[in-house]
Amino acid sequence: MKITVLNGSPRKQNTTFMVDAFVAGAEEAGHTVEVIQVGKMKIAGCMGCEYCHGKGEGQCVQKDDMEKVYPAYKDCDMIVFASPIYYFTMTAQIQAAIQRMYSIMNLPKAEKAALLLSSMSPDVYDGAIGEYKGILGFMGIEDAGIITAKDPENGSEELRQKIYDFAKAL
């Protein structure tokens, strides 16, 4: 499978630890993985101008780092959303990359998805999981798994192994 991972963290710590474990397991299983560091990119929010659904014929009128994400969206068999929890949901950076999918409406090839979340506190995942499940339902994509980890487990060997095994079994 060709797997696209969106890493919504603006820094290289807990979420990236989870992403790295995922990549290692998935590559061990023979999958091709592309990680896109959307947390560090400049991606503006959707303007709702509808250019993409008219004159733009699927192209967004805004030209920014989203240009690097669209090809990976169009070509992936699986999409993985990875994000820290910021105020009970995913980061603004990954939200922008998700909402800018509007120009293509759907991931044409993706059949599976997964969600990796890192947080400070327990029980803070409902917002992110609700959004994730909503998107999957809308796009007809199967959930392969949701892995959440709070501090300090989000940097532990146990978690690394759990995510590695999960990805290797895909």
Residue ranges of E strands in the chain: 2-7, 32-36, 78-84, 112-119, 142-150
13, 32, 156, 161: which one binds ligand FMN (CB under 6 A): 13
Residue 84 near residue 18 (C-beta atoms within 8 A)? no
Q: Which two tokens stand for residue 123?
A: 């029980």
Instruction: Tell me, rounded to whole angstroms, the distance of Cα 97 from its chain centroid.
Output: 9
Q: Is 85 in the site for ligand FMN (CB under 6 A)?
A: yes
Which residue among 73, 118, 128, 167 contacts ligand FMN (CB under 6 A)? 118
Out of 106, 121, 156, 161, which residue is the one contacting ligand FMN (CB under 6 A)? 121
Under the binding rule (CB under 6 A), the answer on residue 9 touching ligand FMN is: yes
Q: Does 86 bind ligand FMN (CB under 6 A)?
A: yes
Q: Does 95 bind ligand FMN (CB under 6 A)?
A: no
Sole binder of ligand FMN in the list 4, 14, 37, 148 (CB under 6 A): 14
Where b means 16+ CB within 10 Å and e means fewer, 79-103 reads: bbbbbbbbeebbbebbbbbbebbeb
- Enter the tokens of residue 153: 């487990």
Binding-site member from 3, 4, 5, 15 for ligand FMN (CB under 6 A): 15
Could you list the residues that contact ligand FMN (CB under 6 A)? 9, 11, 13-16, 84-88, 118-121, 124, 151, 154
